Amino acid sequence: MKTPVRLISVGTVGALGLYCYQDEGTRRSLQFWVNVFPKYLHYRTIQFFNRDLGVLSDNSAQIYYDQLHEKYTDEVKRLTYKMRGFYLKQAQLMSTQVHFLMFPRFIHSHGVPKRMILYHQLI
């Protein structure tokens, strides 16, 4: 009885893998999420301890967030440039939103244009 279930499981995984390999959109989406989901989970864990459980103070959470920004910025930047298209346009769009911009010390160290920093400080 176990053998047919295993064969069906292996066949399903194989068919899904073949589909992902052949369909460019699915392959790109899978590549994105495989790279980004662990980073998202890391940020969400800090948020969970801070907001949901309340065991992490806002100041401590901010210190952890700053460390995560330093750790993941270059990786996400490389991935965005590598994937181009939709992902690069979304990054450009998000960079115009004030609530996505980091504090000036972080921005200066990562090459954000000075005009964007001035705009952020005006708002």
Against a cut of 0.85, is the pTM above it?
A: no
- Least confident interval from 15-19, 42-46, 108-112: 108-112
Residue-wise pLDDT for 35-69, tens only, equals 999 999 999 999 999 999 999 999 999 999 989 98
Q: Which domain holds residue 116?
A: 24-122
Answer whether residue 66 is part of any domain.
yes
| DSSP letter string, 16-57 | HHHHHHH-HHHHHHHHHHHHHHHHHHHHHHHHIIIIIS--S-
Answer whether residue 19 is part of any domain.
no
Residue-wise pLDDT for 81-95, tens only, equals 899 888 888 888 877
**Number of independent structural domains in the chain:** 1
